[in-house]
Amino acid sequence: MASRTRTVAVVTGLFALSATLSPTVASASIDADPRLPSPTGARPVGTTSLYLKDTSRPDPWVPSVKARELMVSVWYPAKAQDGRRAQYMTPKESELLLKGAGVTGVPGDVLSKTRTHAYRDAPPAGRAHRLPLVVLSPGFSWPRSSLTSLAEDLASQGYVVAGIDHTYENHATTFPDGRVTTCVACQAPGDDVAARATKGRAIDVSFVLDQILSGRTKWKGDALIDRSRVAMAGMSLGGASASETMLRDSRVRAGINMDGSQQVAIPRRGLKRPFMFLGQAALDDTWSRDWPQLKGWKRWLQVQGAIHPSFADYDMLTQQIGLDFGSKLPGDRSVVITRAYVRAFMDLHLRHRPQPLLDGPSARYPEVTFKARDSRS
């Protein structure tokens, strides 16, 4: 049992279960209207949800479910700020997420009140087959909405972004018929849960790409995507899944692991496409192990003062609602840094635009240090 508990704690990284909230701090600091920072690009942002069903395989966590069902959020450049702003998550999802994380002292629905900047089902904008696609995979036990601030920013810069909920691997996924699935994988026996999830997510991503790139979804913006320009970024276990996905699916041309232990080692044959580690200053042994197997363009960046949630929305949002988990990045600084370096990576490798930000330290982002880089570039 002790081994299992440690495994889950390492994989989830969902806040810090030992953290405590002072009621006096909470009553003085809770923001009843938490909000994401505005996107940096000029384009309005639209979003839609896709329900996808892979009938070729049963669910890996609940084998009695004979098909793998996935919910996917797509963010994209829109023609105008048209319609209602998208909900960050439902009140039930907020309640289950906070309960699963062991967070108390704040209203259960508080995260559902987070203000976003994307407009629900706004008409997509762009020329056919011209927009690059970025797939986002969240941390274990976290929903796809945890990467909304990054997704909105990329969409405002002209990217299509697909965020995947890996069913039964997070505290709450809501389906169109009203069903809410919970984290079965969080209670799965064995010490190989993280590796199983990593491999399963690679299959999930490939299936989602099959659907989107073939135009088999109901979303009208499918035709805008350039099928030759696809990348992936993930946070925590989602980051660990990025290299595994690239090894299995050549359509993914570049990848980023944001603060995730590499649960499945990169084989000796290596990964020859661009890859970046972006994480906390604390060293990760699996990154050191896999660094030599990255055979293409590569970077290893460390963010001083960051904590695990700094690479999703939750460092910023927990500060807004009065929770202190030890981050040294005040306000929305964690989001600003993550957006800047992820966007630079995508612009370099999907748009082939030079990015001096990735060449060395920047006075604009003194928190970011270069642990290692490709000696050829």
Position 25 pLDDT exceeds 70 = no
Question: Residue 27: what pLDDT?
Answer: 39
Question: Residue 5: what pLDDT?
Answer: 36
Report the alpha-carbon distance of residue 346 to residue 226 in Å, rounded: 14
Question: Residue 283: what pLDDT?
Answer: 77
Question: Residue 157: what pLDDT?
Answer: 98
Above pLDDT 90, what percent of the chain?
86
Question: Residue 105: what pLDDT?
Answer: 87
Question: Residue 284: what pLDDT?
Answer: 86
Question: Residue 375: what pLDDT?
Answer: 66
Question: Residue 32: what pLDDT?
Answer: 65
Position 10 pLDDT exceeds 80 = no
Position 260 pLDDT exceeds 90 = yes
Question: Residue 17: what pLDDT?
Answer: 31
Question: What amino acid occupies position 108?
Answer: G
Report the alpha-carbon distance of residue 57 to residue 68 in Å, rounded: 6
Position 148 pLDDT exceeds 60 = yes
> Which residue from 21, 154, 155, 156 is spatially nearest to 98, judged by alpha carbons?
21
**Across 277-283, average pLDDT:** 92
Number of H-type helices and E-type strands within the chain = 9, 12
Position 240 pLDDT exceeds 80 = yes
Question: pLDDT per residue over 162-176, tens digit each?
Answer: 999 999 999 999 999
Question: Residue 33: what pLDDT?
Answer: 84
Question: Residue 19: what pLDDT?
Answer: 33
Question: Residue 70: what pLDDT?
Answer: 98
Question: Residue 31: what pLDDT?
Answer: 58
Question: What amino acid occupies position 78?
Answer: A
**Across 258-275, average pLDDT:** 97
Please, what is the average pLDDT of the chain?
91
Position 196 pLDDT exceeds 90 = yes
DSSP E strands in the chain: the ranges are 45-54, 68-77, 119-120, 131-137, 160-165, 173-174, 180-181, 225-235, 254-258, 275-280, 298-303, 368-373
Question: pLDDT per residue over 69-82, tens digit each?
Answer: 999 999 999 999 98
Beta partners for residue 46, in sequence order: 76, 119
Position 152 pLDDT exceeds 90 = yes
**Across 89-112, average pLDDT:** 94
Reported pTM = 0.93
Question: Residue 285: what pLDDT?
Answer: 94
User: 167 with 265: CB under 8 angstroms?
Assistant: no
Question: Residue 30: what pLDDT?
Answer: 59
Question: Residue 218: what pLDDT?
Answer: 84
Which CATH architecture is the domain 2-373 placed in? 3-Layer(aba) Sandwich (3.40)
Position 299 pLDDT exceeds 60 = yes
